[in-house]
Amino acid sequence: MRKLADNLHRNGISVGMLSGEVAQNQRIRTLDNFKEGKLQVLVATDVAGRGLHIDDVTHVINYTLPEEPEDYVHRIGRTGRAGAIGTSISFACEEDSFLLPDIEEQLGMKLECTHPEERLLVKAPKYERETKFKAKDGPRTGGSRPSGGSGSRSPRGR
């Protein structure tokens, strides 16, 4: 999830995250920013996304398919409320395709499946974590050796 949010941010899209790893007060602030239009995209886990009621959501994109068909219905139910038209897009790999029959049965309809164009199937650039979404405990440092000053090495290390 963090990787997805970082990638969106790196590509100029204002994005917020809702997950268990985000503090409750930050989740509320992020949700308010999304509702006010300050964020274009909200990336959320199923658990963090439960019970959200947000008006005017036009698109829901499933980065992965849920294992339970009811969870799929819950996710896409965020779009197209009150008679509005909404769009749901789901990314699925070959392994996920085995989940589709149960989801389609739950929906009572067949889903349109489209394979990506070959030119779009390129290897993504190496992921480097963005500072915007780093954990609050600060950057990680190398090993756990004491740093000591000059001349602090043992005679063996000289």
The DSSP bridge pattern shows strands 41-44 and 87-90 to be unpaired
* Amino acid 148: pLDDT: 41
Which residue's structure tokens are 């000289």?
A: 158
Which residue's structure tokens are 């974590």?
A: 129
Distance between CA 69 and CA 67 in Å, rounded?
A: 7
* Amino acid 138: pLDDT: 41
3-state secondary structure of 135: coil
Domains of the chain and any CATH numbers: 1-52 (3.40.50.300), 55-114 (3.40.50.300)
pTM of the model: 0.67
8-state DSSP, 113: -
Burial (CB count <10 Å: 0-12, 13-18, 19+), residue 6? buried
- pLDDT tier for residue 102 given thresholds of 50, 70 and 90: very high
